[in-house]
Amino acid sequence: MTTTLPTRAISPRVATRAASLRVAGGPDLTATADIHGSLVGALARPAGGGPVARRRSRRRLGPGRRIPYGAALGPALLLVAWGLASATGVLDARVLSAPWTVVTTASDLIADGRLLSNLLTSAQRAFLGLALGVGLGTVLALLSGLTRVGEALVDGPVQLKRAIPTLALIPLLILWFGIGEEMKVLTIALGVVIPVYVHTHAALRTIDARYVELAETVRLSRWQFVQKVALPGALPGFLMGVRLAVTGAWLALVVVEQINATSGIGYMMSLARSYGQTEIILLGLVVYGLFGLASDAAVRLIERRTLSWRRILAG
Amino acid sequence: MASYPGRLTAPPPTVRIRGLTRRFGARTVLDDVDLTIQRGEFVALLGRSGSGKSTLLRAIAELDYDVTGSGELHMPENRAVVFQDTRLLPWARVLDNVILGLDLPDAVARGEAALAEVGLAGRERAWPVELSGGEQQRVALARSLVRDPELVLADEPFGALDALTRMRMHDLLRELCARHRPAVLLVTHDVDEAITLADRVLVLVDGRIAEEQRIELPAPRPLRDPRFLAHRESLLAALGVATAAASTEDTDSSSELEGSAP
């Protein structure tokens, strides 16, 4: 039983977040879509019930009552249309396999272990690249966000890197590292560094001067200041960077797995293309989609846990 | 620390300022200000906006960089600042805000005691956003007191509170000061607040101290007390505000001229 939400429950931080996003508005379109999603998510958070919700359950000028399982309605219709088209022969199996073919293929691939082994390979690549990129991005952002020397040394090169699409570096990376796992993980990591760096750096640099002043009046040491003010203050920015980084990691994964890979979901899909097995291609797409959804949910969970101070409880 | 060899030697004042001048560009904000605050003395600094009162407070708090000026300042290292915006770190729980930067083994116990003293026992684990404006300012008071400061610098601390909450905060502040005896410099534009709380009220006009009054009324100071009203009149006059009462006492013609003033 979800109640329509009173708008005043929106944390004032949402505005700050939107502003910082504008600053960092990246070159990457999926990022923008993701930002939108997160704002909507923040808006849709219920205010914890209370007498206000009971008095009038709906906003008069709002879009209306929620439809139960509304979010599943569109995909379900699409699935039904696809099934009907396949069953009646309107949709040729060479163009797109029937949904049941995809399901049976999936169970076959799971049964012989191919799906799981490819899935694990892909997940490992993405995870390593992500971990490396987030680590590097965070260290660079701290260096350049907290010290002037660090900023002078780090910010320029990172901004240069930012201007070059990571995928354009693949030829160079192949020359340097070959076509093995190093190249794949590094490509992912390089794509991940940028959003993490940009958002963490911006968050560190825009910490409210009033808090810096407070830190001075209570005589915090530089280390205490970093620990108690700078890092927790920059955490929302960092997590936003990580969310964009996760999206970027999957994007890079798809690309590197189609280049000379011998394992992974992407490899499974390119192989299927050679044999015209659209059901396997579709299965790969579903797996990528599930990866993306799961990792985004994970980051959002971390966000909710660590930023609980933002939640406005019943007022 | 606070023991002195004989009764003849007076303890040195907590704050001693000589010839303090501060300029923003071509504008002189503080013009050769002298100020002494004795131990445990509560001084209120009144002034209109732009009179330089916050600049003076920030100079004593050593928060005025990028400002040109001169003068001699002696103030204790152990001082606390209370800001108008409560300046609680939103990501730190109430207790952590109170003991921020307090490097003592019993910091937590002290923090809890300070919170109990401002009437917020049991709210240690709350987030600042869960508190009302008055409660947040009480946390800020606890944050100042937990350091046992020799000097409390308060920059319009109750300016953002509603009138009822402000009155309750006045009582609390008076109580806390009576117990801990810090020297206090309270910057405010509220004449009644200054008279209610302070031992001495200064009026800052155009960067100079234009008026000084010692308030020697017993502790609960009702607003209707004629002595209270007398202080009020003269302080308002020093601020350049003519009250209706003052103008009717003067001449009828002047009251006509000032008729539009509320």
Q: Which two tokens stand for residue B183?
A: 């020297």
- For residue A216, list chain B residues with Cβ-Cβ distance below 8 A: 62-63
Tell how far CA B258 is from the center of its chain: 31
Beta bridge partners of B74: B16
In a domain, A82, yes or no: no
Domains of chain B: 15-224 (3.40.50.300)
> What ipTM does this complex have?
0.83
Residue A99 burial by Cβ neighbours in a 10 Å radius (0-12, 13-18, 19+): middle
3-state secondary structure of A46: coil
- pLDDT tens-digit profile of A31-88? 444 444 444 444 444 544 445 555 666 778 888 888 888 888 998 999 999 999 999 9
Cβ distance A219 to B129 less than 8 Å, yes or no, reads no
Q: Which two tokens stand for residue A236?
A: 């929302």
The distance of A82 to chain B (nearest Cα, Å) reads 49
Cβ distance B63 to A233 less than 8 Å, yes or no, reads no
DSSP secondary structure letter of residue B199: S
| Residue (of A3, A13, A74, A72) closest to A44 by Cα position | A3
Cβ distance A218 to B143 less than 8 Å, yes or no, reads yes
In a domain, A166, yes or no: yes
Calpha distance A198→A144 (Å, rounded): 10
To 10 degrees, what angle do helices B163-180 and B133-145 make? 10
Cβ distance A214 to B83 less than 8 Å, yes or no, reads yes
Angle at B112 (CA atoms; ends B108, B117), nearest 5 degrees: 145
The alpha-helical segments, DSSP class H, found in B91-132 are 94-98, 107-117
Q: Which two tokens stand for residue A47?
A: 């205010």
Confidence of residue B217 (pLDDT cuts 50, 70, 90): confident
Calpha distance A92→A29 (Å, rounded): 33
The distance of A98 to chain B (nearest Cα, Å) reads 52
**Has this prediction a pTM greater than 0.80?**
no
Calpha distance A42→A304 (Å, rounded): 10
Calpha distance B93→B96 (Å, rounded): 5
Q: How many domains does chain A have?
A: 1
The distance of B128 to chain A (nearest Cα, Å) reads 8
In a domain, A155, yes or no: yes
pLDDT value of residue B127:
93
Look up tokens 């590097």; give the residue: A136
Domain with A242, as residue range(s), is: 108-310
- pLDDT tens-digit profile of A105-133? 999 999 999 899 999 999 999 999 999 99
Nearest to A218 among B101, B127, B130 (CB): B101
In a domain, A282, yes or no: yes
The distance of A192 to chain B (nearest Cα, Å) reads 27
| Residue (of B77, B72, B76, B35) closest to B52 by Cα position | B35
Suggest the residue from A214, A228, A235 to mutate for an interface test with chain B (most B CBs closer than 10 A).
Answer: A214
Kindly state the average pLDDT of the residues B123-140: 93
In a domain, A86, yes or no: no
Cβ distance A211 to B89 less than 8 Å, yes or no, reads yes
CB B165 within 8 A of CB B133: yes
In a domain, A52, yes or no: no
CATH code for the domain in which residue A297 is found: 1.10.3720.10
